Amino acid sequence: MIYFESLPDAGTVVVNKYSSANVRFNDIPFIRRTLGVIFQDFKLLTDRSVFDNIALSLRIIGFKSADIRKRVLRVLTEVGLGHKRNRYPNELSGGEQQRVAIARALSNQPSLILADEPTGNVDTTAGKKIMDVLEEINQKGKTVITVTHDPDIAQRAHRILQITDGVVRDYNA
């Protein structure tokens, strides 16, 4: 709902200046440009290099080539993959692919990062590294919302909300 993929049956979701109560369909792409989304299944394009997977989203929203290069190299360095920029997704481990997805999510300098089961398709060691990267991003001032079924991952959070049968429980309240 934060990504406006679906709207709530009751209540409202407010993201930046947009409310689900009166959001227009045409506004949704602009809302999404203010967010960074990390998908469980990476959603990398297999026919493009790591660099081009990240650069493509920036090209689509109109960044200049010089700015794209700087941003892509910066975010790849931030997630520890600057040396793999010319590799293709099938040449990377699952953990590395997920870190490319994190870099892509960071590339547009979003106000909020949404991570949907970011460790779901990787082994425990890679999962720990991914959560370390997300925690570091959070410590730099970004809000990171992680959706997980893994209690060990949830315990690393600063705040835990649990949704069960449509009811939200705040463990920090």
For residue 18, the SS3 value is: strand
Task: State the CATH number of the domain containing residue 51.
Answer: 3.40.50.300
Residue 40 has pLDDT above 80, yes or no: yes
Run of H or E residues at 53: helix 50-60
Residue 170 pLDDT grade (very low, low, confident, very high; cuts 50, 70, 90)? very high
77 assigned to some structural domain? yes
- The backbone torsions φ and ψ at residue 131, rounded to the nearest 5 degrees and listed phi first, read -65, -35
120 assigned to some structural domain? yes
Q: Domains in the chain: how many in total?
A: 1
- Tell me the average pLDDT across 152-173: 87
Domain range for residue 100? Answer: 33-170
24 assigned to some structural domain? no
DSSP secondary structure, 98-167, as one string: HHHHHHHHHTT--SEEEEESTTTTS-HHHHHHHHHHHHHHHHTT-EEEEE-S-HHHHTTSSS-EEEETTE
Question: Which pTM was predicted?
Answer: 0.90
What are 110-128's pLDDT values in tens digits? 989 999 999 988 888 888 8
- Tell me the average pLDDT across 76-93: 96
10 assigned to some structural domain? no
Residue among 105, 41, 110, 115 nearest 79 (CA): 105
So what's the pLDDT on residue 44?
97
